[in-house]
Amino acid sequence: MKPQLVVNGRTRELGEVGGHVTLLEWLRADGLTGCKEGCAEGECGACAVLVARQDGPDRPDRTRWVAINACLVPAAAFDQQEVVTAEGLGRPGQLHPVQREMADRGGS
């Protein structure tokens, strides 16, 4: 099976990524530019994405979403996992409430 992950509900092949390609670099190369490189140290949050994780050993049928800094982790580590980027939160004309507030209030 080829390495792949689900991004914003769509399965995408990871391709030939080595251990040196970060999730941020891979996402941006795949056209998902809502994820930004700010500090490249994991402190600013510009590269934050959501990753689906099992909700614990006592609840294997439930998923919880965890925010991670995509600039710090290799893309290959997300084989067979699910990721949501800023593009996956809303659509033009139907922004996610957090996106709407940031737009209305000039957030960054």
Chain segment 43-84, per-residue pLDDT in tens: 888 899 999 987 777 887 888 889 999 999 999 999 999 999
Residue 108 has pLDDT above 70, yes or no: no
Please name each of the domains of the chain with its CATH number. 4-105 (3.10.20.30)
Model-level pTM? 0.83
The separation between the first and the last C-alpha atoms of the chain, rounded to the nearest angstrom, is 39
Greatest alpha-carbon pair distance for the chain in Å reads 45
Exposure on the CB side of residue 97, measured as CA atoms within 13 A: 0
**Dihedral angle, C-alpha 53, 55, 60, 63, nearest 10 °:** -60
